[in-house]
């Protein structure tokens, strides 16, 4: 079969439709994109609550993209992370980082805004990181790079561990399944999703506080 630009464009369009906008199961599938409201509350300032953990969401998260590469709804992902933080007696704040789509930088900005100095970076495709305000964007407390292997219980555990760091604990890292065989399967799709998120970047834009509300 001859590969041409038209064929590639068709594949890209199909992948983006299936993985970014819908669960791609059946016409009867639940549309989780309406399960969460994220409202802009203005420029984000440094927090003062020592128990505050900031979740930095990338530019397209819950906005123009609503599902991870594993087809997990963003509403459920965010809900689980927040639940994990609150289970440890800490407070979650959500900030949208618009000036970059790099998960390391998103997490670093989040950590610098958090009253505890602990931040979580979360890309739309599901890649996640826990960072400390004094670390560089290329270093972290915990990194979860294989988004296709990150489940909802794992996101909840990420929230719990971030809260434990905020309290000054030294928790065991969240166990992660490392299966390199998923890379050739998901890598083309990951590139497409990342490129879509990057198209939402506004250089030097202010970080924005986000009010979150779940419909059920």
Q: 75-125: per-residue pLDDT in tens?
A: 999 999 999 999 999 999 999 999 999 999 999 999 999 999 999 999 999
User: Domains along the chain?
Assistant: 30-214 (3.40.50.10150)
- Tokens representing 103 are 């998960």
Helix (DSSP H) and strand (DSSP E) numbers for the chain: 5, 7
Q: What is the pTM of this model?
A: 0.86
Residue 57 to residue 84: CA distance in whole angstroms: 16
Sign of CA dihedral 165, 167, 172, 173: negative
Using one digit for the tens of pLDDT, what is the confidence trace for 26-77? 333 456 667 899 999 999 999 999 999 999 999 999 999 999 999 999 999 9
Computed on alpha carbons and rounded to an integer, the radius of gyration of the chain in Å comes to 17
What's 35's DSSP letter?
S
Beta bridge mates, 84: none
How many angstroms from the chain centroid is the CA of residue 70? 12
What's 148's DSSP letter?
G
């Amino acid at each position: 079969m001859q590969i041409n630009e038209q064929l590639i464009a068709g594949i890209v369009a199909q992948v983006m439709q299936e993985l970014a906008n819908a669960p791609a199961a059946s016409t009867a599938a639940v549309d989780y994109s309406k399960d969460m409201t994220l409202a802009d509350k203005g420029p984000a300032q440094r927090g003062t609550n020592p128990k505050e953990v900031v979740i930095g969401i990338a530019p397209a998260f819950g906005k123009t993209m609503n599902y991870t590469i594993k087809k997990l709804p963003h509403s459920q992902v965010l809900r689980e992370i927040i639940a994990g933080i609150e289970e440890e007696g800490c407070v979650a704040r959500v900030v949208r980082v618009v000036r970059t789509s790099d998960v390391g930088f998103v997490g670093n900005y989040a950590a610098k805004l958090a009253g505890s100095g602990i931040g979580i970076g979360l890309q739309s495709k599901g890649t996640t990181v826990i960072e400390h305000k004094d670390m560089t964007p290329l270093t972290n407390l915990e990194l979860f790079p294989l988004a296709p292997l990150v489940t909802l219980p794992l996101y909840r555990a990420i929230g719990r561990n971030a809260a434990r760091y905020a309290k000054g604990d030294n928790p065991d890292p969240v166990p992660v399944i490392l299966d390199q065989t998923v890379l050739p399967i998901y890598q083309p799709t990951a590139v497409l999703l990342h490129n879509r998120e990057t198209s939402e970047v506004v250089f030097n834009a202010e970080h924005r506080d986000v009010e979150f509300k779940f419909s059920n």
